[in-house]
Amino acid sequence: MGLLLTELGASPAFVNPGGACAGHLVRSAETAILLDCGFGAAGRLRQFVEPWDLDAVVISHLHADHFMDLVPIRYGLKLVRPHKLGRLPLLVPPGGSAHLAGVGRALVDDPEFFAREFDLREYRGGVKLAMGDVELGFHPVQHYIPGHALRLHSEGRVLVYSGDAAPCRQLEDAARGAHVLLCESALLDVADDEPDPSRRGHLTPAEAARLARAAGVERLLLTHAPAGPREERLRAAREAFGGEVEFAEEGRSYAI
């Protein structure tokens, strides 16, 4: 089977009409992993996999549009059915446990709000973990806050998810030789972000395409992109990449 990616949410922080924020379901022959869980992703997830049947949720970074739908998932695990292991493994970046404790305190005055239903585990950049028949790798990338690209490998197939990232060598290295790069493309124009690339947090489609080409990626899927006319952005990306590139469609599955 290799890997199957189902795009649940492809919107940036200001959600597109009828869309959802970051949420990407990845399944192999044995394993189901949710990458990020932004606004609207939980309901989309349930069309394909119930949260208690997931093997893990992995959060790339701690911006709200990438994790806040952990709240409805938490209620499902508490009120409808517990996870098959007792608590659903939730992999968060360094400092994530304390951050979620603060969110729980702000929401319901309970710092253990998430920890009671999720098995919280903080990952470290540069480390690889086995989750069923999927190998997960965590690669720090340039963003406004600490963020990670996620590299998934199963049965010889490789999917890399950028998380949110500026153009940077770290993301290029993480994507090296991937069969598919699911890459954020939140900017309409480079002028929409910091002029200094070392202080930026996002990519244009053309920048994502140049990075994918440099990394030797086979296929590029653009996500985390604003709505509106996309023909010009897609044309620029295709010219820069020279291979297969498209905007990921919510609800659609992609064989890796």
Residue type (1 letter), 221: L
Between CA 253 and CA 251 the distance in angstroms is 7
Residues of the chain predicted below pLDDT 50: none
SS3 242: coil
Q: What is the CATH number of the domain that holds 147?
A: 3.60.15.10
Closest CA to 35 of 222, 127, 140, 162: 162
Tokens read off for 66: 């990438």
Predicted pLDDT at 68: 98
Bridge partners of 151, per DSSP, are 137, 160
Q: 4, 245 in Cβ contact below 8 A?
A: no
- Number of structural domains (the chain) is 1
Predicted pLDDT at 38: 98
Report strand pairing: 88-92 vs 56-58: parallel
158-209 pLDDT, tens digit each: 999 999 999 999 999 999 999 999 999 999 999 999 888 889 999 999 999 9
Q: Considering the entire predicted model, what is its pTM?
A: 0.97
Give the C-alpha distances (Å, rounded to integers) separating 105 from 99, 122, 145.
10, 19, 22
198-224 pLDDT, tens digit each: 899 999 999 999 999 999 999 999 999
CB neighbour list of residue 109: distance below 8 Å, 6 or more residues apart: none
Domain limits for position 225: 4-255
